[in-house]
């Protein structure tokens, strides 16, 4: 608990709006869960991220030598899991979209594991350029407003307004030294 608070304090100092985005995600999925709805967002590369955690039911069937446990779902949404998972799940979905975009413009051999990417050292500069250009392409516009609109259109519910956009110049990613 101590370290998680230290991490959140650092996030608040360095990237103050990240906590606001996380809280907004959580508020949205909480409202959706109250109406037995999950979260869906189709990102710019066409992948749909769906989050619909349901409550599990467990039954134990005794046999002569051991018991067999069978887990099923009753279909009811698990609000706690929805709220706790949304920030990481949506972020990983966008990380995946970024890698798809980068792969489409990269001419070398590329390896991908989860949200990490690699290539031959001789291709590093080209991969870095592909990733930077893909980042700008992926995050131009207001993705949070898109997420809100897609979920409202799908469910008919009204969700809160997303946090205001910051004033960072997105194209600075193209020339950043880090």
Q: Rounded CA gap, 50 and 86, in Å?
A: 10
> What pTM value is reported for the model?
0.82
Place of tokens 């698990």: 78
50 or 167, greater pLDDT: 50
Give pLDDT, residue 28.
Answer: 98
Q: How confident is the model at residue 13 (pLDDT cuts 50, 70, 90)?
A: confident
Cβ atoms within 10 Å of 46's Cβ, excluding its own? 8
**What pLDDT, on a 0 to 100 scale, did the predictor assign at position 116?**
81
> CA angle, corner 116, sides to 4 and 177, nearest 5?
85
Distance CA 88, CA 93 (A): 9
**pLDDT at position 59:** 85
> Residue 115: helix, strand or coil by DSSP?
coil
H/E element, 57:
strand 54-62
Tokens describing residue 61: 């069937």
**What percentage of residues in the chain have a pLDDT greater than 90?**
65
- Summarised one tens digit per residue, pLDDT across range 98-110 is 999 999 999 999 9
Structure confidence at residue 166 as a pLDDT band (50, 70, 90): confident
Output the pLDDT for position 138: 95
The percentage of residues in the chain with a pLDDT greater than 70, rounded to a whole number, is 99
The residues that bridge with 38 in the sheet, in sequence order, are none
- DSSP codes of every residue in 145-171: HHHHHHHHHHH----PPPPPP----GG
Other C-beta atoms lying within 10 Å of the C-beta of residue 36 = 13
Instruction: Reply yes or no on whether the pLDDT at 50 is more than 80.
Output: yes
pLDDT tens digits for 72-130?
878 789 999 999 999 999 999 999 999 999 999 999 999 988 778 899 999 999 999 99
């Amino acid at each position: 608990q101590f370290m998680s608070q230290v991490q959140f304090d650092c996030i608040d100092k360095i990237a103050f709006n990240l906590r606001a985005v996380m809280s907004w995600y959580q508020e949205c999925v909480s409202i959706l869960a109250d109406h037995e709805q999950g979260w869906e967002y189709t990102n710019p590369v066409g992948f749909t991220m769906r989050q619909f955690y349901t409550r599990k039911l467990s039954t134990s069937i005794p046999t002569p030598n051991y018991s067999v446990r069978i887990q099923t779902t009753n279909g009811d949404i698990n609000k706690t899991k929805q709220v706790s998972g949304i920030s990481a799940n949506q972020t990983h979905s966008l990380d995946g979209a970024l890698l798809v975009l980068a792969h489409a413009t990269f001419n070398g051999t590329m390896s991908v594991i989860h949200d990490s990417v690699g290539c031959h050292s001789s291709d590093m500069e080209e991969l870095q350029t592909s990733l930077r250009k893909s980042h700008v392409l992926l995050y131009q516009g207001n993705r949070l407003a898109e997420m809100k609109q897609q979920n409202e259109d799908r469910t008919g519910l009204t969700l809160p307004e997303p946090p205001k956009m910051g004033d960072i110049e997105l194209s600075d990613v193209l020339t950043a030294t880090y």
